[in-house]
Amino acid sequence: MGTITVKDGTEIFYKDWGTGQPIVFHHGWPLSADDWDSQMLYFLDKGFRVVSYDRRGHGRSSPSAKNNDMDTYAADCHALVQHLGLKDAIHVGHSTGGGEVTRYVARHGGKDGVSKAVIMSAIPPVMVQSATNPGGLPIAVFDGIRAGLAANHAQFYRDFAAGPFYGYNRPGAKISEGIKDNWWRQAMMGDIKAHYDCVKTFSETDFTEDLKVIDVPVLVMHGEDDQIVPIADAALLSVKLLKNGTLKTYPALPHGMFATHPEVINPDLLAFFQS
């Protein structure tokens, strides 16, 4: 574990375990590197070098009152990859982290020697509804998230984890209090200004051109019951824009499916990594 300081003085916290081919994990909003702990341990045991880091303003990285945009997130990742000397790395991103992977691989993947990528329950091509993206979510949805953060972010985070993120609002859902508590713990570690800014970033950034230029193999994974990033306006569109994309969908699985169903997701990731 350690930190690096990037160009604007922000400190980025990271974990780096093991040897072998590197896998870099990119977490979702408003969480931290800890969200990938079960995958980190699983792939460490399989002989990979596993790296995860806290996005600026999230987790143990510095609070970030500015530069909370996707270009900067990608540049931060590039700085970390260069610092660690990672070669032939696989990048895996969930939700906002999937957008981060997309922008990073499009902008920096060639010079960094990225070998493969995974975007899981991910925000590309673009989330917000517009004339050119009629299937997107109305801006009112994201305004509501911002209002919830500003009013009482601690309670908002409790409700978010207890409801649609893991599908715990579905009849008969098997609820894990530990998963809910861990989500809230991670969210509360971060900086509310950075989290607030990131809502605009994850909802309004358009990744269409990024997806078109990526030429490494990309696995697009999405739960068919994702209530946070609906599959029809995300994975089903993204895979059509990729030059070398493969789509894998999961009936009835939620947005946070790698946490609720690691016994399903981890072997599928391994098969892609080894293919």
The Cα 34–Cα 121 span in angstroms is 18
The strand pairing partners of 53, in sequence order, are 14, 26
User: Residue with structure tokens 């953060």?
Assistant: 149
Sorted by sequence, the CB contacts under 8 Å of residue 237 that are 6+ apart come out as 125
The Cα 52–Cα 157 span in angstroms is 22
Q: Can you state the angle between helices 192-204 and 139-162, rounded to 10 degrees?
A: 120
Predicted confidence at residue 123, as pLDDT, reads: 98
The sign of the CA dihedral 132, 194, 166, 240 is positive
Predicted confidence at residue 109, as pLDDT, reads: 97
What is the DSSP secondary structure assignment for residue 137, as one 8-state letter?
B
The pLDDT of 226-242, averaged and rounded, is 98
Predicted confidence at residue 127, as pLDDT, reads: 98
The Cα 164–Cα 145 span in angstroms is 13
pTM of the model: 0.97
Sorted by sequence, the CB contacts under 8 Å of residue 220 that are 6+ apart come out as 118, 119, 122, 235, 238, 239, 242, 245, 246, 247, 248
For the segment 63-88, what is each residue's pLDDT rounded down to a tens digit?
999 999 999 999 999 999 999 999 99
The pLDDT of 183-204, averaged and rounded, is 98
Other beta carbons within 10 Å of 41: 14
CATH number of domain containing 254: 3.40.50.1820
> For 220, phi and psi rounded to 5 degrees?
-105, 110
For the segment 17-46, what is each residue's pLDDT rounded down to a tens digit?
999 999 999 999 999 999 999 999 999 999
For the segment 131-172, what is each residue's pLDDT rounded down to a tens digit?
999 999 999 999 999 999 999 999 999 999 999 999 999 999
Predicted confidence at residue 248, as pLDDT, reads: 98
Domain ranges, residue 192: 2-274
CB 194 within 8 A of CB 65: yes
Residues taking part in catalysis:
95, 226, 255
For the segment 110-125, what is each residue's pLDDT rounded down to a tens digit?
999 999 999 999 999 9
Q: What is the band of 106 on the pLDDT scale with cuts at 50, 70, 90?
A: very high
Predicted confidence at residue 1, as pLDDT, reads: 81
Whether the predicted pLDDT of 249 surpasses 90: yes
The pLDDT of 233-262, averaged and rounded, is 98
Question: What are the start-end ranges of the H helices in 56-95?
Answer: 70-84
Q: What is the band of 99 on the pLDDT scale with cuts at 50, 70, 90?
A: very high
The 3-state DSSP class for residue 128 equals: strand
Whether the predicted pLDDT of 209 surpasses 90: yes
How many domains does the structure of the chain reveal? 1
The sign of the CA dihedral 23, 118, 261, 126 is positive
